[in-house]
Structure 1
Amino acid sequence: MPQLDPNPWFLTLLMSWTTLSLIIQPKLLMFTSTNSPSPKPKTTPKITPWTWPWT
């Protein structure tokens, strides 16, 4: 079964993980967002009772 032969794909797997770990991941971790989150003031919702038309 050629699907189970790891020889052609193992090197590709190793190279892709190496590229991700050493090059792409540090660049992504250094990214800082321009809009930092700010806390919103808590507001309590106004609760109004539901008026049922048949009562």
Structure 2
Amino acid sequence: MPQLNPGPWFTTMLISWLVLSMVIQPKLLSFTPTTLPPHVITPHTHTTPWTWPWT
């Protein structure tokens, strides 16, 4: 079964992983979002507990 022979595809996978982790990942992590979501402060509302009539 040729799928079990790592010779043809292992080098390609290793080089692809190294390119992804060393070149592309730092470029993606350097981006900052242009618009940050505003901090919304929700007021705390006081609620009354529910009383169950059957208990």
With the length of structure 2 as denominator, give the TM-score of the two structures: 0.70
Q: Which runs of 5 or more residues in structure 1 are unaligned?
A: 46-55
Give, in whole Å, the separation in 2 of the partners of 1:43 and 1:19. Answer: 48
Aligned-residue offset at 1:40: 1.3
Q: How many residues align?
A: 46
Cα RMSD, aligned residues only: 1.6
Give, in whole Å, the separation in 2 of the partners of 1:13 and 1:38. Answer: 42
Identity rate of aligned residues, in percent? 53
- The equivalent of 1:30 in structure 2 is 30
Find runs of 4+ consecutive structure 1 residues off by over 3 angstroms: none
Give, in whole Å, the separation in 1 of the partners of 2:38 and 2:7. Answer: 51
Aligned-residue offset at 1:18: 0.8
- The equivalent of 1:12 in structure 2 is 12
- The equivalent of 1:41 in structure 2 is 41
Give, in whole Å, the separation in 2 of the partners of 1:25 and 1:31. Answer: 11
Aligned-residue offset at 1:29: 0.7
